[in-house]
A and B are shown apart, each in its own frame.
Chain A
Amino acid sequence: MKTDVTAIPFEQGEWNSTLNVYSFVVKNITPYTGNSSFLSGPSAKTINVWNATKEALAIERANNGCLAVDTETISNITAFRPGYIKKEDEVIVGLQTDVLLKRSLKPFGGIKLVESAARERGLEVSDRIKDIFKYAKNHNEGVFNAYDPEIRAYRSKHVLTGLPDNYARGRIIGDFRRLALYGADALIAFKKADFKQVSGEMTEHKVRLREEINSQIAALKDIVLMAAEYGLNISNAATTAKEAIQWVYFGYLAAVKEQDGAAMSLGNVSSFLDIYLERDLKSGLITEEEAQELVDQFVMKLRLVRHLRPASYDEIFGGDPTWVTESLGGQLNDGRTKVTKTSFRFLQTLYNLGSSPEPNLTILWSEELPEGFKRFCAQVSIDTSSIQYENDDLMRPNRGSDDYGIACCVSYQEIGKAIQHFGARANLPKALLISLNAGREEHEGTVIVKGIPELPEGPLDYDLVLDVFKRTLSDLARVYAKAMYIIHYMHDKYYYERAQMSLIDSDPRVDIAYGAAGISIIADSLAAIKYAKVTPIRNEKGLTVDFKIEGEYPQFGNDDDRPDTIAQEITHFFINELRKHQTYKNSTPTLSLLTITSNVMYGTNTGATPDGRKSGEPFAPGANPMHGRDSSGAIASLNSVAKLRYTDAQDGISNTFSMIPKSLGDTKEEQVTNLVNTIEGYFKHMAHHLNVNVLNRETLMDAYNHPEEYPQLTIRVSGYAVNFVRLSRAHQLEVIARTFHEKM
C-alpha cells in the first residue's frame, strides 16, 4: 500500500467507528450544480483498450453472440487466472475469466440448464464437472424436490413464468463501496463481530445466519486472493481514486464470477467515488482527463460482463442483458443533491465509448436536481437512447432511505441494509382467461383453478367476470407465494450469494419482489366487457378462442378514468392477495408491473383476450398501454400510466416511451428543454419510471435490415436497454411496431 503525502484528510464521522458508508458520503460529498462543460473526451489509453475490445465484440457478434466458453471450470472468485484486454493501457483491471468475453460455467443454479446452454453451442460440459454434480446438489434440483402439482401446473401453463428455479435469482446488490472505504481486513473483522453476536440457544434462523456469515468471510478472503493475482492488495482501504474504483470493481467482479443472476446491479457508487476523485483532483494527483479515464475504463469493464445463457432464457430476457444498473443523481434527505461531477462523468462514457445498454444507467430524478444535470441527462437521452429515469421524489419518502440504488430494471433497493428476492412474474391476462373458462387453461382445457363456475352463455356480465377473475387472482397469489418460498429457500441453500452478501449487513431486511404482466390488457378487457358488448366465441370444448366486441370501449392510455381505474383496482387487489401469504425469511411482498422483453413470449402463450387482442399477439411492455391504442397523444398516454399507484407496486411500474427527435422540437436546445419538461411533468403526476427512446422508426428498420452497420445502436425496452441488433428478429419487429409518438 503506497501512502500518499498529498492526500487531504476526509471529514470524520460515524463511518470511522462503525460500518457506515452513508455517513462517509454525507460528510464528504461535493454536490455539483454546474453544467457539462468541464468534461473530457477519451484518453489515448482508453481509445486503445476500447478499440481492442470492439474487435473482440465484433467477433462475438459474428460468432452468434458468444465468443468462447470454458467448459472445464466451475467459475468462482478465484477460479480463473488474471485476464487483460491490453495490459499496458488498462488503468482498471479484472475480467470474469482469463480471456476477454469468454463465458464460464456457473452450474449451482441448475446443472441441466448449463449443459443445454453449452450443447446449443456445440459444446459439452466436461466429464469432471458432470461427475461432481452426481454428488453435489444444485438449486434447480432442490426446488423441484419441493414443488407441488399446483405450482407445476401454473408454471407449465405459463401463468407463472420466468421463475428463478433453474438459474440464479440475481437482484442482490452488494455495497461494493465498503471494500474501498474499509478494505477487506476491516470488513472481515466486522463480520467476525457479527458472528459472535449470533449466540445463545440455537434456532433455525441463527444456525443459518452463522453459516452465512462464515461463507461471507470466506468470500472476502477469496476477493483478497483474486486482487493479489492482479498484483493489488485490497486488505486495506483505498487511498486514491484509482484504488477506490479498482476496489469497488473487484467487489463487483467477485459477484459476477460466482453468480449468473439475471440482474446483477452495481448500486450507487458514482457519487461515492466522486469523493476520491475530487480529492485527487484537488491535491493535483490527477487531471480531469485522468479522472474521466478511470471512469471510462471502469464502465468499459462493466460493459463486458458475460454469462452463459440458454436460448430459452433469451426468450424472456432478449439481447443478453446483465443489468449492471448504476443509479445517478437523486437528492439527499438533508436537501442537498447527490449529483456530483462523477454523475456527469458516468454519462460522458456514452459519448467517449459510444452508446451502450450496459451499465444500465438510471437517473434518480427529482424536481430539485440541478438544472445543468437535468439538461445533460435529456441531451444524453436524445443522443443515445441509453438511459432511464426513476422518480426520486416518489421513492425516497415512500421507501425511507436516500442511500439506494436500482436493482434489476426499476426496483428501489436500499444499499447494504436490505436485499430483495426476485419473484419473476405472473401472467394476468392468462389468469383472466382461466376465469372465463371455468378454471381451465384456454389452450388445452387443463384445470388450473378449482371452484370457478361456468359463466352463462351470451355477452359477458362485468360484475360476474370481475368476481370470477378476482377468485382466480386469489388462487394465483396463493400458489405464487408458495413457489417463491420454495425457490428462495433452495437458492439460499444451494447457491448462496456469499460475495454480495459479504458486503451487506449480516441480517438484512428482505423484500419479495413479485411481478405482474399484462395490466393494460386487463384494463382494456374489463373496460370492453363493462362499456361495450363482449361475447366469447368458444370451441367444441367450450374454451374461448376469440371474442366478439360490439360497440366502442374506452382504452387504457388515453387519460380516461374508466379503464385507468380498472388497472388501479386490479393492481391493488393482486398485491393485497399476495400480502396475505407467508414468505421466506419474513420478506415483505412488493409488486412490479414490468415485463422485460418477455411481453413477446407472454403474447405467444396467451389466447385471444376480450380487448380484441388476437391469440399469440404480444403484450404491451411493462405497464405501457397496448400498441397504438394510446391515440390521444403522448401526455394522455403518460397520464394513464401515472395513475397506477406506487404504493401498490413498489417494485416498479415500467413505462417505455418512444418518440421521434423532431417531435421534441425544432432545435436541439428546444428538444432538451421539452424532454426535461416531459420527464418533470410525468413525475409530478407521481409516476414511477420512464424509459426514453428518441429515435426514428426508419433508423430501426434500417438496423433491422443492415445489423452490421449498427453494432452499438441502443434502445430502451421495458426497464433496461439492449443492443438492438442483438435482439431476436421477433423482438426487433415488436419494438418497431410500438407506439412512436410522432405528433404528440
Chain B
Amino acid sequence: MLYLPLQDIEASKLNIDDPEHLRIHSLETFGTHDGPGIRMVIFVQGCQFRCLYCQNPDTLDVKAGELIAIDELVQRAVRQKAYFGKFGGVTVSGGEPLLQRSKLSTLFQRLHKEGINTCLDTNGRLNDVHVHELLIHTDLVMLDVKHINEEIHRKLTGLTNKNTLALADYCESIGKRLWLRYVLVPGWTDQEQYIEEWGQRFTNFKTVERVEIIPFHQLGLHKWELLKMDYPLKDTPTPTEESKQKTLAIFNKYFDNVILK
C-alpha cells in the first residue's frame, strides 16, 4: 500500500501541459553536492517513487509546487554562470525530473546554447524516446539505483527497478557519463550480498565516473510531520561508522572513485 497514490494520469500530463514552464519545488543557487563543481540546482516537483526513506516528501505530489518559465530558469543560470568554473553548471533534481523529460530537453538545449553544463539527477523511473532525446542534451547523469534486488526495491520504493537498470544500460550503450548513487539505509539497503551484487552489476561499465554512498539521515523527518504523513522510517537510526566503512570497502572493490558523503 503506497502512502501517496501514484498519480499516473497527472504525472503524464506533467510532461505535456505548459511546455514553456517547468513545475518546480525550489531552486538552490550554490549547490555543491549534486554534481561536479558549483551548480544551480532545480528541484522539480512530482515523483512516483514512494521511497520509505524519502527525504523530500514535499516534492512528491505532482500537482503541488509552482510553475516557472523555462526562459527564466535559463536567465538565472546565465547570471550565475561566472561561478560555475570548468565543471559546474545546472543540475535538475527532484522530485523525479524524468516526469518532465520533454520540457527538460528544451531547458537543457537552451542551457547548452549558453555554454552551460547540464546534469540530471534521477531514479530512472522512465526510459522512453523522450528520455533518450533528453539524454542527448545531458552532460552527466546521476542515477540513483536504490536496490539491486527487484523484490526489495519494490518494497522500498513501491515500484520496479527494471526501468532504472535499463536506463543505466542505455547510458552505457551510448557512452553517457554516469555517477551512480546509493543511499545506505540500516535494515533496508545494508545487506552485504546485495551491495556486492550491485557492485558486480556495474563494475564493468565504462561510463561510471564515480559512485556516491549517501548515508541515511533523519533531516527529512520534519517534512513528513508537516505533511501530516506517517513516516515509516521515523525510528530508523543513521548508519554506524562501521557499516559505512564496510559498505565503502565493498564498493571500492568494484569502482575506482567512491565517495562516502
Contacts and interface: CB of A to CB of B under 8 A. Distances in A.
Interface of A: 559, 632-636, 638-639, 663-667, 670-671, 673-674, 676-678, 680-682, 684-685, 741, 743-744
Contact of B32 (A632, A639, A665, A681): A665
B82 interface: yes
B85 A676 contact: yes
Contacts of B163: none
Contact of B29 (A635, A664, A680): A635
Given A676-B85, A680-B82, A634 B33 contact: no
Contacts of B33: 665-666
Given A676-B85, A678-B38, A741 B30 contact: yes
B79 A663 contact: no
A681 B85 contact: yes
B79 A639 contact: yes
B208 to A, nearest CB: 18
Nearest to A665: B32
Interface in B1-36: 27-33
B106 to A, nearest CB: 23
A636 B28 CA distance: 10
Contact of B37 (A633, A666, A674): A674
Nearest to A642: B82
A647 B50 CA distance: 55
B80 interface: yes
B58 to A, nearest CB: 15
A744 B85 contact: no
Given A666-B259, A678-B83, A632 B37 contact: no
B84 interface: yes
A606 to B, nearest CB: 31
A489 to B, nearest CB: 45
B28 to A, nearest CB: 6
Interface of B: 27-33, 37-38, 40, 79-80, 82-85, 87-88, 259, 261
A673 B30 contact: no
B259 A677 contact: no
A634 B261 CA distance: 22
B82 A674 contact: no
A674 B84 CA distance: 8
B32 A744 contact: yes
A635 B32 contact: no
Give the one of A636, A677, A684, A744 with max B CB within 10 A.
Answer: A677
11 contacts: A636-B79, A663-B30, A663-B32, A666-B32, A666-B261, A667-B259, A673-B85, A676-B85, A677-B85, A678-B38, A744-B32
Contact of A635 (B83, B87, B259, B261): B83
B38 A677 contact: yes
Contacts of A559: 79
Contacts of A670: 32
A658 to B, nearest CB: 13
Nearest to B81: A681
A673 B28 contact: no
A486 to B, nearest CB: 44
Contacts of B28: 633, 743-744
A355 to B, nearest CB: 23
B37 A677 contact: yes
B114 to A, nearest CB: 15
Nearest to A635: B29
Nearest to B260: A666
Given A666-B259, A666-B261, A677 B83 contact: yes
B85 A680 contact: yes
Nearest to B212: A666
Given A681-B80, A682-B82, A744-B30, 11 more contacts: A634-B30, A635-B29, A635-B83, A639-B80, A665-B32, A665-B33, A666-B259, A677-B37, A677-B84, A678-B38, A681-B38
A633 B32 CA distance: 12
A706 B58 CA distance: 40
B173 to A, nearest CB: 29
A678 B85 CA distance: 8
Nearest to A683: B82
B79 A674 contact: no
Nearest to B30: A744
A677 B86 CA distance: 9
Contacts of B259: 666-667
Contacts of A678: 30, 38, 83
A664 B40 CA distance: 13
A25 B170 CA distance: 59
Contacts of A684: 82
Nearest to B261: A666
B115 to A, nearest CB: 14
Given A666-B261, A674-B38, A678-B38, A632 B83 contact: no
Contacts of A673: 37, 85, 87
A354 to B, nearest CB: 28
A638 B30 CA distance: 11
A665 B31 CA distance: 8
A670 B82 CA distance: 17
Nearest to A684: B82
A681 B79 contact: no
Contacts of A681: 38, 80, 82-85
Give the one of B28, B29, B80 with max A CB within 10 A.
Answer: B29
Contacts of B88: 674, 677
Contacts of B82: 680-682, 684-685
A323 to B, nearest CB: 29
A635 B30 contact: yes
Contacts of B29: 632-636, 744
Contacts of B40: 635
A666 B212 CA distance: 10
A671 B28 CA distance: 17
B80 A635 contact: yes
Contacts of B87: 673
Given A674-B38, A677-B37, A682 B30 contact: no
B93 to A, nearest CB: 13
Contacts of A743: 28, 30
Nearest to A687: B82
A682 B40 CA distance: 15
B181 to A, nearest CB: 12
Contacts of A677: 37-38, 83-85, 88
Nearest to B83: A681
B89 to A, nearest CB: 11
Contacts of A685: 82
Contacts of B37: 673-674, 677
